[in-house]
Chain A
Amino acid sequence: MIAAIFSLTLLGAALGMGLGVAARKFAVEGDPLIDEIEAMMPGSNCGQCGLAGCPAAARAIAEGTVSVAVCPPGGKALASALAARLGVDLDLASLVDAGPQLATISEDLCIGCCRCLKVCPTDAMVGAAKQIHSVIREACTGCGNCVERCPTEAVVMRPVTVTLQHWVWPKPGAPRNAIGHAAA
């Protein structure tokens, strides 16, 4: 009886130890590429890409199921950085989308409900209860979460207006556009 208990205990302990050591020694780490891409992403988990936050987007980009230009807040800068990292070709010309957008609040519609404040991933909304809210333009990533939350449709997304300081000369040979284009 004692011999059986002893031998089984020993066997269990030895096998358990073996498994433990194997788990440590042969541990499979998370794909380092995914972690690296995730570190490059904005990390605001805004969901504009249609995926469940930045980690999911990073995985999808690493697997190649979505384009490197999937992240709207990241814009051209992130897309070209990702393309360089992953060694994929990126046609910057195809990236000319609707352009960067920023949230703006119509002050005559805002009722000061504070709902937009809670969903903003970068704390770009300022305001207090029953006070008109405002957007800090520099902090807004244009994710549009606030638009859906606003009960009075006071928040609207507006394209960033091109100013003299942001205007870029068009590339020679490109269809001549008097206004050129702006980047965020």
Chain B
Amino acid sequence: MGLIETFLHTLTIPGWGVHPDDHKRPAADAPLRTLPLPTRLYVPLLQHVGQPARPTVLVGQKVLQGQLIGAAQGRISAPIHAPTSGTIVAIGEITAPHPSGLPFSAITIEADGDEHAIEASVAADPFALSPEEITELVAAAGVVGLGGATFPSSVKLALGKRTKITTLIVNGGECEPYLSCDDRVMRDFAADVIDGVRLMMHATGAGEALLGIEDNKPEAIAAMRKAARLFPEIKLRPVPSRYPMGSDRQLIQTLTGKEVPSDCRAADVGVIVNNVSTANAVHRAIRLGEPLLRRIVTINGGAIWQPGNILAPIGTLASDLLAFAGLKSEPARLLMGGPMMGAVLPHAKVPIVKGCAGILALNEDEIATPAAGPCIRCGKCTSVCPIGLLPLEMAANIRVDNLDGAAALGLSDCIACGCCAYICPSHIPLVQYFTHAKGELWSQQRGKLRLDAAKRLAAERTERLERETREKAIAAAKRKAERAAQKAAQAASAELAATETTETTQ
């Protein structure tokens, strides 16, 4: 690279973010492998943002591949489908792929190995369908954002009805180190991704699509450029490799120059962002009538024998994938997702969910972290924060339990990308402070709501008791009056009778 190019390159690098050693190769270059069908699949009911799916099958029931086993409930939810044919053997709790190690509900399917698929009807020309029909098909297929946020895609596509969407941004950033599943999707299914993008443009009414791909994936850029050359409305835009480029707000800012305000969503500036894997899933849902049944998972890390990308059904245990890729040594830490934002797994017997981009088995050398020291107020965290927050100030507030002080500094805008903790020369676990504080504030708010509800209920009860006493008193008075009237009437009639008798006797 010449001096001028180097200079121009530094100009394009955004002011925020970090560039960790990406560790993407050789896993990204290994050809895609398909996992042999596991004997049992554990399909969780909650694999998305929103309400969990409601089971629609019974234990002992036989299901076909692609059959609905959990229906969406609520406005923001997604259905789940049987990833293979077989028998439902249990509907109950299993360990969640979550650092807490707490259980959540899942449907266990014993595979029969036949992979009998349910018959699907497919529209001959999806572009003849209305945007609403496309959105409905996407909703029925259980497609969620596969970049990791797992927001139901149909809800996002339906935003086109409420606000004018001008641009669809397709996120091929994949900025997390170690992960290469989106890279693999773009290289192996470029035409499918482009078709998915066109379908999503049709559903949202967006006039143009911008494909943002980090420049450390030249093969993916070449494959996508080739697939998109027939469609001038789809523009390929290589972006600098800068973590967190894959975060929607950062990608929007880099590609369009628009900054999404803190209390707004991307749609409010006329943009929606979808991941390339989501585009691929939309293509399969509309063109093949296939619900979201499997995904590409990156298996990587120092403890892996053969790192690479594996196509696996949803509900596969992480241990099955690790066994398939082979372990060199006992992993010191298991992660679901990337090393910057991924979730530490309690053990390997947890299922792959829709939003799982990778399983990392890291060895001792990779996780070595020096002990945290005191903050030296160097300000590096402020310069790398993609949101422009003051991580050092927020953490100092949280350390002394001044959560409101941290909230006033914009804690709720923190995307927990981990740039600050990565760059911190004192190795302070900044993100853990922020995640803790967000959870604590949220639970305090919930506690307050509960207290208000209890107060209201107690007041209503007092009012009800008073009303009952009042009504009882009124009823008693009424009865008394009635009795008195009755008595008077009786007395009167008796008197009348007496008079009559006297009259007759006279």
Shortest C-beta distance, B223 to chain A (Å), equals 38
Q: Which of B408-441 contact A (CB under 8 A)?
A: 428-429, 432-433, 435-436, 439-440
When chains A and B are docked, how far (Å) is the Cα of A73 from the Cα of B96? 30
- Option from A81, A93, A122, A162 in Cβ contact (under 8 Å) with B457: A122
Shortest C-beta distance, A92 to chain B (Å), equals 6
B99: chain A residues within 8 A (beta carbon)? 169
Given contacts A92-B401, A179-B101, contact A166 B443 (CB under 8 A): yes
Please determine whether A179 and B443 come into contact, CB atoms closer than 8 angstroms.
no
Binary per-residue interface labels of chain A (147-184) against chain B in the complex, 1 for a CB within 8 Å, 0 otherwise: 00000000000000011101111111000001110111
When chains A and B are docked, how far (Å) is the Cα of A61 from the Cα of B461? 25
Given contacts A77-B448, A163-B102, A180-B100, contact A168 B443 (CB under 8 A): yes
What residues make up the interface of B, taking CB atoms closer than 8 Å to A? 46, 96, 98-102, 104, 346, 372, 398, 401, 428-429, 432-433, 435-436, 439-440, 442-444, 446-448, 450-451, 453-455, 457-461, 464
What residues make up the interface of A, taking CB atoms closer than 8 Å to B? 42-45, 73-78, 80-81, 92-93, 121-124, 138-139, 141, 162-164, 166-172, 178-180, 182-184
Please determine whether B458 and A77 come into contact, CB atoms closer than 8 angstroms.
no
Residue of A43, A81, A163 with most partner-chain B CB within 10 A: A43
Please determine whether B436 and A169 come into contact, CB atoms closer than 8 angstroms.
yes
Residue of B98, B435, B460 with most partner-chain A CB within 10 A: B435
- Option from A122, A166, A178 in Cβ contact (under 8 Å) with B461: A122
Shortest C-beta distance, B335 to chain A (Å), equals 16
Residue of B98, B102, B433, B453 with most partner-chain A CB within 10 A: B102
Please determine whether A167 and B447 come into contact, CB atoms closer than 8 angstroms.
no
Shortest C-beta distance, B32 to chain A (Å), equals 32
Q: Dominant SS at the A interface?
A: loop
A91 nearest CB neighbor, chain B only: B401
A171: chain B residues within 8 A (beta carbon)? 398, 432-433, 436
Kindly count the residue-residue contacts between A and B in the assembled complex, taking CB atoms under 8 Å apart: 104
> 26 interchain pairs (CB within 8 A)?
A42-B454, A44-B458, A76-B444, A77-B451, A93-B401, A122-B454, A122-B457, A123-B460, A123-B461, A141-B450, A164-B100, A164-B102, A167-B98, A167-B102, A168-B440, A169-B99, A169-B435, A171-B398, A171-B432, A171-B433, A171-B436, A172-B429, A179-B100, A182-B443, A184-B443, A184-B447
When chains A and B are docked, how far (Å) is the Cα of A80 from the Cα of B401? 11
Please determine whether B433 and A73 come into contact, CB atoms closer than 8 angstroms.
no
When chains A and B are docked, how far (Å) is the Cα of A184 from the Cα of B439? 12
- Option from B98, B433, B454 in Cβ contact (under 8 Å) with A172: B433
B450: chain A residues within 8 A (beta carbon)? 75, 77, 138, 141, 184
- Option from B102, B433, B440 in Cβ contact (under 8 Å) with A162: B102
B401 nearest CB neighbor, chain A only: A92
9 closest residue pairs by CB, A with B = A168-B439, A77-B447, A183-B443, A122-B457, A44-B458, A169-B436, A169-B435, A77-B448, A172-B429
Q: A121-B461, A164-B100, A166-B443 are in contact. List 9 more A-B contacts (CB 8 A).
A: A43-B459, A44-B458, A45-B458, A75-B450, A122-B461, A123-B460, A169-B439, A178-B100, A180-B100
Please determine whether A122 and B458 come into contact, CB atoms closer than 8 angstroms.
yes
Residue of B372, B398, B401 with most partner-chain A CB within 10 A: B401
When chains A and B are docked, how far (Å) is the Cα of A78 from the Cα of B447? 8
